[in-house]
Amino acid sequence: MSTEFKSRTIAVLAVDGENFSVNGFYADQERNASWYTITRSRDGNVIVDKCTQFPTHESIRELIH
């Protein structure tokens, strides 16, 4: 039996004039996300896939600079 994951947009964070969408991936009926994906809103590019902790403004800033 395989685990099915569902994605939900949790937040849109503005960092240094750019917006980043944070999606959480949830296993079956779990309340807490198993991982997060950070996507640049303007072009849809994935910045980080399978981030284990919810990103902060500062952690996103470090990734893009």
Contact by Cβ (8 Å): 8, 21: no
> Would you list the domain boundaries of the chain?
5-64
Residue type, 26: Y
The string of pLDDT tens digits covering residues 2-55 is 788 999 999 999 999 999 999 999 998 889 999 999 999 999 999 999 999 999
Q: What is the pTM of this model?
A: 0.86
Q: Each residue of 11-22: pLDDT tens digit?
A: 999 999 999 999
